[in-house]
């Protein structure tokens, strides 16, 4: 099977947030005090790059009669980012009541929202049905639960998620079409296709099929194979019923991201081409399409900046201790081979560093030995007061923090370069060359204490054993 990281030259495109644009943003963020001694770590979202990525997705599916592109809210659960995506014409895919609330607060119309989750409660289902939010049932039992709760007046589109069981990619935890995946109805299990067809036959309001093979580590061929299997099932069911009851297909997302350099590969255009080759009937207008991309829209449109607080030597290794560790780059720290990140070195004024390279570890502030975001990287020598940048972290990294050591969540800022171009990071640019806007304030220590139960500090003191007498 072809490795998803190897894509023909025609499928390459410059990264939306090139290193030059990031460098300009870093310098001005340091100059503006958004990143420095008092704010030693922060996340940054390239608003220009987000718009460019959405446009690339829309262009890849141009000409498809009915398509709803939804953004997977888990990839960036930040209301201003979601609102920007809504303004660009996106819908929103949510996986629980919290994400649904964020999507509504961001301004998505209920008809543009899709609720996916393998463990929806009755209240989750009732709320979605009342609002008119689309639901994808994750099991036949859930279909029966929806049937018991669904009012006749509900405008919700209701689908069923199936697992095509076409195999996994290179990252097992991100592969959702394996033989024993927890998601969807396993189509290759004995009797499963018959049970799915019967569920549609018994419920005319069941009108959508959904499948998602996985994301990072899954090749275009694997993703297309899963979509093709779902498409064949839709055709079988409609033929059996003698009517086009299934009117739309949710093909999920999962386009992998290149974390090796600035180029975007594979592109949305390459993804659409792979689908057209594997499932040509998918684009003829007989089915409405829903997509659910997340990482591929945001990863290259964001970065993390962190102050180098100290450096030290251990054995034959230089270690730079920063404020970006497992609390913000959890996947990279715990699975470094699966989630490696590029690192940039910047001086105390936010300028890219040069000079001889030195093998260095980039470590975080968490109190465990494995809290290292980059091992043995050759970078210009880092010193106290310098900065490091973790590239391609616009998806998941600063929007899904881990509260290890009760470290507060960092601030997140959006930025835009003048005219969308990258200023010269080494020049004395005007203050307006890069403009910033707040996305999320840094978490206060008062908030950390509140989340840790400070308001109930004495509650356990009253739980005393009953006296024997």
pLDDT for position 9? 36
Q: Give mean pLDDT, residues 28-48.
A: 97
> What CATH architecture applies to the domain 300-447?
Beta Barrel (2.40)
pLDDT digits (tens, 9 = 90+) for 307-318: 999 999 999 899
The pLDDT value given to residue 366:
98
Please report the pLDDT score of residue 171 as a whole number.
67
For 117-293, the fitting CATH number among 3.40.50.2300, 3.90.950.10, 3.10.129.10, 3.20.20.10 is: 3.20.20.10
C-beta atoms surrounding 423 within 10 Å: 20
The answer to whether the Cα torsion of 12, 16, 20, 22 is positive or negative is negative
Residue 423 confidence class, pLDDT cut points 50, 70, 90: low
Residue 323 has pLDDT above 50, yes or no: yes
Largest Cα–Cα separation, the chain: 84
Angle (CA) 53-59-61 rounded to 5° is 115
First to last CA, the chain: 74
Euclidean distance between CA atoms 229 and 223, whole angstroms: 10
Which pLDDT band, with edges at 50, 70 and 90, does 173 fall under? confident
Distance CA 34, CA 465 (A): 52
* Integer angstrom CA distances of residue 381 from 41, 306, 308, 387, 426: 20, 16, 11, 11, 19
- The structural domains of the chain, with segments of one domain joined by +, span 117-293, 300-447
The full DSSP string for 143-170 is: HHHHHHH--TT----EEEEEE------S
As a whole-number percent, the residues of the chain with pLDDT over 70 amount to 92
- 3-state SS assignment for residue 125: helix
pLDDT tens for 248-275 read 999 999 899 999 999 999 999 999 999 9
pLDDT tens per residue, range 275-293: 999 999 999 999 999 999 9
Residue 431 has pLDDT above 50, yes or no: no
Which positions ≥6 away from 334 have C-beta within 8 Å? 326, 370
The confidence score (pLDDT) of residue 299 equals: 96
């Amino acid at each position: 099977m072809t490795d998803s990281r190897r894509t023909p030259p025609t499928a390459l495109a410059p990264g939306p947030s090139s290193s030059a644009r990031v460098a300009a943003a870093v310098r001005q963020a340091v100059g503006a005090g958004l990143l420095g001694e008092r704010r030693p770590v922060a996340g940054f979202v390239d608003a220009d790059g987000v718009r460019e990525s959405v446009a690339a997705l829309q262009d890849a599916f141009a000409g498809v009669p009915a398509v709803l592109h939804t953004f997977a809210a888990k990839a960036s659960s930040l209301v201003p980012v979601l609102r920007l995506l809504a303004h660009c014409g996106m819908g929103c895919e949510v996986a629980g009541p919290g994400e649904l609330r964020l999507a509504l607060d961001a301004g998505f119309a209920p008809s543009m929202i899709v609720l996916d989750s393998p463990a929806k409660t009755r209240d989750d289902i009732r709320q979605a049905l009342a609002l008119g939010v689309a639901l994808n049932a994750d099991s036949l039992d859930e279909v029966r639960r929806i049937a018991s709760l669904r009012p006749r007046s509900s405008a919700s589109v209701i689908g069923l998620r199936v697992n095509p069981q076409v195999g996994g990619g290179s990252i097992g935890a991100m592969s959702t079409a394996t033989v024993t995946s927890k998601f969807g109805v396993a189509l290759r299990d004995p009797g499963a296709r018959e049970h799915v067809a019967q569920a549609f036959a018994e419920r005319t309001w069941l009108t959508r099929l959904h499948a998602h093979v996985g994301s990072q580590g899954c090749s275009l061929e694997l993703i297309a194979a899963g979509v093709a299997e779902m498409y064949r099932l839709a055709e079988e069911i409609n033929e059996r019923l003698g009517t086009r009851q299934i009117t739309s297909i949710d093909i999920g997302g999962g386009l992998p991201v290149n974390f090796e350099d600035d180029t975007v590969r594979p592109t949305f255009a390459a993804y659409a081409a792979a689908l057209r080759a594997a499932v040509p009937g998918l684009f003829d207008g007989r089915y409405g399409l829903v997509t659910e991309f997340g990482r591929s829209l945001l990863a290259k449109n964001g970065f993390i900046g962190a102050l180098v607080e100290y450096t030290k030597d251990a054995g034959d290794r230089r270690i730079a201790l920063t404020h970006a560790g497992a609390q913000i780059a959890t996947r990279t720290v715990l699975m470094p081979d699966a989630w490696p990140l590029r690192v940039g070195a910047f001086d105390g004024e936010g300028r890219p560093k040069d000079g001889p390279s030195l093998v260095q570890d980039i470590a975080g502030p968490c109190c465990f030995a494995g809290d290292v975001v980059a091992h043995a990287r050759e970078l210009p020598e880092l010193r106290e007061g310098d900065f490091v940048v973790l590239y391609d972290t616009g998806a998941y990294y600063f929007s899904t923090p881990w509260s290890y050591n009760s470290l507060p969540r960092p601030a997140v800022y959006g930025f835009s370069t003048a005219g969308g171009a990258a200023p010269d990071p080494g020049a004395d640019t005007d203050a307006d060359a890069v403009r910033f806007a707040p996305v999320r304030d840094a978490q206060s220590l008062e908030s950390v204490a509140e989340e840790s139960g400070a308001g109930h500090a004495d509650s356990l003191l009253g739980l005393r054993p009953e006296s024997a007498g």
